[in-house]
């Protein structure tokens, strides 16, 4: 099973830095596990990894290696992964054009419909779980 997703130039640069500064040997990449969670969003766990784990498929984008498990490939199909930085926050954004806006009261503070965000503070060696909010 393959996934069709897009990495923006900003996301490529950000992911490249994670892998480059991990201290792992050549051929390393970013292991990204995405699962449903949060209010119209995703939960994600990611870390630099020397190689794919069992069940992960390797995707090469502009010289970057991404390691994605089957569920992650399914969830990322049609999604654009971007990196944004503002005066108050920065992180990866997962933009899904097919995702509806959240209907709960927290939607007042949400960004555009179909956009999930993970903050840079959630990044660590060995991976940390972070909730992506719409």
Model confidence band, residue 48 (pLDDT cutoffs 50, 70, 90): very high
Alpha helix (H) residue ranges in 1-134:
9-20, 70-76
The more confidently predicted of residues 105 and 101 is 101
Work out how many domains the chain is built from and give that number: 1
Q: What pLDDT is recorded for position 110?
A: 45
Is residue 93 pLDDT above 60, yes or no? yes
CATH assignment at residue 52:
2.60.300.12
Residue 119 belongs to domain spanning: 6-132
In a domain, 63, yes or no: yes
In a domain, 121, yes or no: yes
Q: What percent of the chain has pLDDT over 70?
A: 66
The more confidently predicted of residues 133 and 14 is 14
Q: List C-alpha distances in Å: 35 to 20, 22, 45, 72, 99.
A: 26, 24, 9, 6, 14
The more confidently predicted of residues 99 and 51 is 51
In a domain, 34, yes or no: yes
Mean pLDDT of 1-26: 89
∠ Cα 46 47 50 (to 5°): 130
Model confidence band, residue 57 (pLDDT cutoffs 50, 70, 90): very high
Is residue 98 pLDDT above 80, yes or no? no
Model confidence band, residue 46 (pLDDT cutoffs 50, 70, 90): confident
In a domain, 1, yes or no: no
In a domain, 128, yes or no: yes
Q: What pLDDT is recorded for position 95?
A: 83
In a domain, 66, yes or no: yes
Q: What pLDDT is recorded for position 109?
A: 45
First to last CA, the chain: 26
In a domain, 14, yes or no: yes
In a domain, 18, yes or no: yes
């Amino acid at each position: 099973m393959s996934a069709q997703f897009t990495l923006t130039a900003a996301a490529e640069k950000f992911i490249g830095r994670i892998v480059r500064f991990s201290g792992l040997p050549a051929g390393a990449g970013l292991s990204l596990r995405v699962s449903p969670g949060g209010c119209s969003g995703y939960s994600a766990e990611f870390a630099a990894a020397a190689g794919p784990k069992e069940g992960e498929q390797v995707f090469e984008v502009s010289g970057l290696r991404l390691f994605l498990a089957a569920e992650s490939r399914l969830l990322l199909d049609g999604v654009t992964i971007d990196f944004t930085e503002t005066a108050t926050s920065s992180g990866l954004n997962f933009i899904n054009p097919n995702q509806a806006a959240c209907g709960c009261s927290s939607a007042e503070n949400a960004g555009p419909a179909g956009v999930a965000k993970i903050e840079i503070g959630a990044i660590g060696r060995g991976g940390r779980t972070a909730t992506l909010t719409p």
